[in-house]
Every structure is written in C-alpha cells, then in structure tokens.
Amino acid sequence: MATVLIVDQDPSVRGVLTKALARFGHDALTASNAPEALQALSSSHVDLVICDWNTSGQIDGLELLRLLREEDRDVPVIILTEFGTIEHAVSAMRAFHPEAEVAVARAAKSRTTQFMLSTGADTAVEAARDARGAPVWQQLYATDDWNVTTALVRRAERAGCTAIFLTVDSPGARNNETLRRAVRVDNRDCNACHVNGNHSMWTGAKRPAFADIDTARVTGLSPPALTTEYLDRLRGIVKGKLVIKGVVTGEDATLAVEHGADGVVVSNHGGRNEETLRASIDCLPEVVAAARRRVPVFLDGGVRRGTDIFKALAMGAAGVGIGRPQAWGLAAFGQSGVEAVLDILNGELTNIMRQAGTASVAHITPRSIVESKR
C-alpha cells in the first residue's frame, strides 16, 4: 500500500483521485496549494506525488520536482496536465443561452473539465469561478492600453485564475461576410444586447471584464505589435501560468517558450479570423517538436469527435479545447446540453481507446496512429 500526495486546486479532481486510489488500497493525502503540499511532505511519509501543472501558490509540478531534488528527496512526481477536453474561450455566450458562461462553467464542474473564460464573456470571472467551483483559466485580449492589460490580469489573478491565455491570433479586423448576410434576415432586437448597435467589448455596455476599468484609450483588442518584447513585459506581471493561444508554427512556439511561456495552444481561432490557414492538427507536429517537452502543447480547432481528441493526444497534445461544440450544446439545452457534448466526446474517446488497446491516456502515443495517404 502506498501513500500518494495529490496536489490540485480543484476539489473534484482531488476527490476523484482519492476514490480511485482507495479502490486499489492506497492512501491519499491531499493539498490544494504549495504551502499545504510542502507541509504534507515534511510531516508525513509520501511514496508518490501527483501534482497539477496548473497549481497556484508559486509552485507547480515542475517546481515541486525541483525542490524535492534540491533536498535530495527521492519521491517520484507525476505532473498532470489537462487531458481530454477543455472548454475554450467563446465570447458573448448569452447569445446562445440566457445562463451563458455560468451554465458552461457548471457543466465543466459536473464533468471535471477545465474552463477558459473569454475577455469578451457575458459573465464576470468571479461568477464563472463560483459556478465552476474552482479557479478558471482567463483568456486575455490584452488591448492596446497597457493599463487596461494590467487591470485585466490583476482582476483575473484576484479571482484565483491560475493561467492567463494570451490570444495572439486576433490582430485586427476580419471580413465577417456570413454575419453581415445573417444580420439582414435576423429580426431580433439587436439593441437589447448591443446598445445603439455597438458590438465593442470595451465601450458602451461594457463586457464584465472591462467593468470598472478606464477603457477610454483602448482602440483595439490586441496591441498593434505582439512582439517578444511585449511577451517579456507581460511575463513580468503575470504571476501564474502564461500560455500563448494561437500558435501555428514551430518558430513561434520556440520564441514563446524562450520568452517565458508556460504553454502554447495550437489554434487558428477556429478559422474565424482567416479561413485559409492550415488546419491546427496539421500544425501540431512542428509545434510539439519545437516545444521539446519543456511546456505542454494544447490544441483547438475542429475537435468534433473523441477520435479527434485521440489523434491530437497521439500527436503530442497535452489536451484539446472545444469552441463551437460547447456553444451548440449550450444553445440547444443550456448546462445539460454542454454536459451532453462533453459526455459524447468522452464516451467516444473511451471507445477509441478500447479499440486501439490503449488502457490509459499515457498509453496513447505516436504509434497509436498512422498517417493516411492523401
């Protein structure tokens, strides 16, 4: 019988792992943050540590491992990154259902899934955290005013967010042809949400993330130049994880890691900013190669089936995000619709894992798939 220390901020993850270990006759100690983890390690005998990559309190799995090595303590550490499905930032979810992001966060809680809140969300980060019952990840549209950037980061961190995901693939305007065409035949009162037809997140009826922030000088959602100097500056103020969302090349992944990113998301914004890019799954191999296991690589875009998750994991992704599928579930049935989407994806993932003879996520490797001839 072994004693396992589980370090994770999410009480539901601690509960699930504790129960699973008990079934095999192992004892579990739990800690929700770094001080608690270090306290448990100094006061009890521990055979194995399972630590979340995402744990806050100035420590994570990698740092814990380093500290133990420095102390010459020979305790193995398993570092968890998200695997399976993560609900990725989708703005303005009240467009899909009156309960908006609260319903999505509740679904994330009931299915132990991570939730990334958009800067353009219709729900405040504190309310999303309460609905999730654990810290959420904050997607960041940094804007072109550094004071606003700082205020957004500080507020997210005060709300307990353990990771800030800087979106780098929305540099400017896009050609919303389909939207413009749809608007012509939509007879709903758009002014109910967009006062005077204003779609901006930071003026007029501001989105909750911008409430109480002086946005008078903001003219765009992204800084005009998303350079490595900008990354360094942002790294200087983000206390928790900083992850770059919207990376599609190995070169950019290398730069992100060299400038302090704790992870990257291979994403092209679901093809919404530019529809002619490579599919994100085609970009994954070079980004995984460039990351060289130094940081986790996540992927989103076109994940529609459990088999898509399986392929991404096999190709080296630490986890995948879904954008539209959660919005479809939300629009159809609210929280239970999002839960149904997650259940379908997880059920399909389990099925393909059985088919492929992969007993756990750790068994899904590049050998689990072959590339079909085009």
Site residues for ligand FMN per CB under 6 A: 88-91, 118, 120, 139, 167, 245, 267, 269-270, 272, 300-303, 322-324, 327
Strands (E), the chain: 3-7, 27-31, 48-52, 77-80, 85-87, 114-117, 137-140, 163-167, 241-247, 263-266, 297-300, 319-322
Number of neighbours of residue 325 by Cβ within 10 angstroms: 21
53 or 137: CB nearest ligand FMN: 137
267 or 335: CB nearest ligand FMN: 267
142 or 295: CB nearest ligand FMN: 142
Least Å from the CB of residue 118 to ligand FMN: 3
CA distances from 92 to 119, 170, 276 (A): 9, 16, 25
135 or 302: CB nearest ligand FMN: 302
CA distances from 11 to 16, 57, 132, 245 (A): 9, 16, 11, 27
Least Å from the CB of residue 339 to ligand FMN: 17
Q: Which residue is nearest to ligand FMN (CB)?
A: 323
Provide the b/e sequence for 334-357 (b: ≥16 CB within 10 Å).
bbbbbbebbeebbebbeebbeebe
Least Å from the CB of residue 151 to ligand FMN: 18
Tokens at residue 363, please?
Answer: 């068994």
Least Å from the CB of residue 94 to ligand FMN: 12
Cα–Cα distance for residue pair 299/209, rounded to 1 Å: 25
Least Å from the CB of residue 312 to ligand FMN: 12
Cα–Cα distance for residue pair 298/293, rounded to 1 Å: 12
| CA 346 to chain CA centroid, nearest Å | 17
Pick the closest to residue 163 from 198, 129, 138, 126 (CA basis). 138
Q: Say whether 45 is catalytic.
A: no
Least Å from the CB of residue 234 to ligand FMN: 15
| CA 233 to chain CA centroid, nearest Å | 22
| CA 86 to chain CA centroid, nearest Å | 6
Catalytic residue among 88, 97, 259, 269: 269
| CA 195 to chain CA centroid, nearest Å | 31
61 or 120: CB nearest ligand FMN: 120
Residue type (1 letter), 216: A
Least Å from the CB of residue 257 to ligand FMN: 20
32 or 267: CB nearest ligand FMN: 267
Tokens at residue 94, please?
Answer: 């009240």
The continuous run of DSSP H or E covering 152 comes out as helix 146-158
CB 33 within 8 A of CB 54: no
Active site residues: 269
